Amino acid sequence: MTAALLTDTPCDVAADRAPHRAELPRVVGADLSVPVVDGSRVRYCDLDSAASAPALEAVAAHVAEVLPYHGSVHRGAGWTSRVCTALVEDARADVARFVRARADDVVVFTRNTTDALGLLARAVPGPVVTLDLEHHATLLAWRHTEHRVVRAGRTLAATLDALRTELTERPDAALVAVTGASNVTGELLPIPEIVRIAHAAGARVCVDAAQLAPHRRVDLAGWGADYVALSGHKLYAPYGIGALVGRRDWLDTAEPHLAGGGAVGSVAVDGDRTRTEWLPAPQRHEGGTPNVLGSAALGAACRELDPLIDEDVPAHERALLRRLRAGLATVPGLRVLSVFDDPAGSGDRTATVSFTLGELPAGLVAAALSAEHGIGVRDGRFCAHPLLERLTGGDAVRASLGLRSTASDVDRLVHALDRIARREPGWTYAIVDGRWAPTPDPRPLDGPGSGRPGAARGCGH
Ligand code: PMP
């Protein structure tokens, strides 16, 4: 039934042909098969790239190429140290180019976006303003500075007005931190406009690009934004790396984020204290042995995606998103979530869609998608509790598409949701260890890990 409905939708033929698909880089694990509860195996349908994306094949190949040379950075005279130092510094340049940094911006490698924002929080010299729709990484980073939260309105226009009012009435804000794309709805925030509003009030802007960078061009210089934070594992380089890129002055004078070896020019003991001469950024914040493989992976991902991120990646994802939204509109009781009602807010967005399905618990829907259909989605509140409270008063299901996604993945999701919505589950479910799970669960855990999959952590719920 769902398949018949889908062939009636106008967008699917174009999406099936996926005109840009052939040019897109391949990801590792694209042919992964997973067990389902009827005892068979199906190709894994990964619709959770907003949480974490697979590695590009080119990234994994580059890491394999680098591994024999793995060595210390900035510290050794040995050949591998020289190679690795060059790799890390080249990767810095690749990241800077990818986000269109200015010549005097600095790239600091971090663990991820959360870590990058934590670093900026040490550097910011005054109050920080955020919207309440943010991911917890952007909402919670500013525990050691004054932090003001502006409530987003039902429309984007009302939200920008509220931001303008806050910044005008209390003109001492040093920084506005805002997401480039919502991790819940995929809606894009108008960064150049936010930059104009913030700069007019004397505040800088940090863009949380965790969700934007894999899908749209981050244009630090073009936007006039001051900082950008991103995560390698969402950018097809899942090797424990992230970056903060932006203006040097605050970063050069801030307390070191990771104090230790490599962050100092000299250390002496003076009486019963250490006397240190901290290096400028980025070294100042990168104490300890750096993540060489992560930097190399992120640099490689940036090089691969740079020629594709302006047109090919968005075209691929827009076609799939049209197909997905048309399909979801046919599922009884399914409600797609949006932050904003106005046309600006419902315009371009990444292919991340959150929804509720009638009164069905989101966790049950996600468990059935995995157990019966081999489809991976996220359920919960997506580390954006205030936004989910407003949109649903509870949990939702999120499907997020990326380079790995195909039209057939979209159709599988829509077909599976249609069955679940019509109460045609092929299995029984119960809450086990706080999460919905198939009971019994006959699927062998045959991946490389051992033991049962861990219970979900609190953040998604
Ligand atoms: N910001 C947004 C918008 C995100 O979606 C995420 C990850 N879900 C983060 C920040 C945090 O990223 P990470 O977990 O890699 O630090």
Q: Give the pLDDT confidence of 165-213 residue by residue, as tens digits.
A: 999 999 999 999 999 999 999 999 999 999 999 999 999 999 999 999 9
Q: For residues 285, 290, 293 and 296, what is the CA-based torsion angle, rounded to 10 degrees?
A: 50
- Using CB atoms within 10 Å of the CB of residue 451, give its burial: 0 to 12 exposed, 13 to 18 middle, 19+ buried: exposed
Residues 330-366: b if buried by 16+ CB within 10 A, e if exposed: bbeebeebbbbeeebbeeebbbbbbbbbeebbbbbbb
Provide the pLDDT for residue 248: 98
Mutate to test the pocket of ligand 1, among 183, 188, 291 (most ligand atoms within 8 A of CB): 183
Among 58-62, 222-226, 336-340, 424-428, which is the least confidently predicted range?
A: 424-428
pLDDT digits (tens, 9 = 90+) for 16-63: 444 444 479 999 999 999 999 999 999 999 999 999 999 999 999 999
Provide the pLDDT for residue 343: 64
> Cα separation of 358 and 224, whole Å?
43
pLDDT digits (tens, 9 = 90+) for 134-152: 999 999 999 989 999 999 9
User: Which of residues 202 and 77 earns the better pLDDT score?
Assistant: 202
Cα(first)–Cα(last) distance of the chain, in Å? 33
| 113 CB near ligand 1 (under 6 Å) | yes
- Quote the pTM value: 0.93
Quick check: helix, strand or coil at residue 191?
Answer: helix
| Residue 302 is a catalytic residue | no
| 130 CB near ligand 1 (under 6 Å) | no
Token pair for 189: 């925030």
> Cα separation of 350 and 50, whole Å?
10
Evaluate if residue 460 carries a pLDDT over 80: no
> Ligand 1 centre from 217 Cα, in Å?
17
Evaluate if residue 13 carries a pLDDT over 80: no
Provide the pLDDT for residue 3: 29
pLDDT band for position 14 (50/70/90)? very low
> Cα separation of 373 and 31, whole Å?
15
Specify whether the CB–CB gap between 369 and 425 falls below 8 A. Answer: no
Q: What are the boundaries of each domain within the chain?
A: 3-54+309-438, 60-305
- At which residue do the structure tokens 């309105």 appear? 153
Residues 127-139, mean pLDDT to the nearest whole number = 97
Active-site residue among 45, 84, 302, 383?
383
Provide the pLDDT for residue 344: 60
Provide the pLDDT for residue 75: 73
Among 75-84, 218-227, 231-240, 391-400, which is the least confidently predicted range?
A: 75-84
Provide the pLDDT for residue 372: 97
Residues 120-132, mean pLDDT to the nearest whole number = 97
The residues that bridge with 204 in the sheet, in sequence order, are 175
Give the CATH class of 60-305: alpha beta
Contacts of 314 (CB under 8 A, 6+ apart): 215, 216
The residues that bridge with 266 in the sheet, in sequence order, are 277
| 182 CB near ligand 1 (under 6 Å) | no
Q: pLDDT averaged over the chain?
A: 91
| Superfamily of domain covering 3-54+309-438 | Aspartate Aminotransferase, domain 1 (3.90.1150.10)
pLDDT digits (tens, 9 = 90+) for 358-368: 999 999 999 99
Q: Give CB contacts under 8 A, 24+ apart, made by 189-196.
A: 190/156, 190/160, 190/344, 191/223, 191/225, 192/222, 192/223, 192/224, 193/160, 194/160, 194/163, 195/223, 195/224, 195/225, 196/224
> Cα separation of 379 and 460, whole Å?
7
> Ligand 1 centre from 183 Cα, in Å?
8
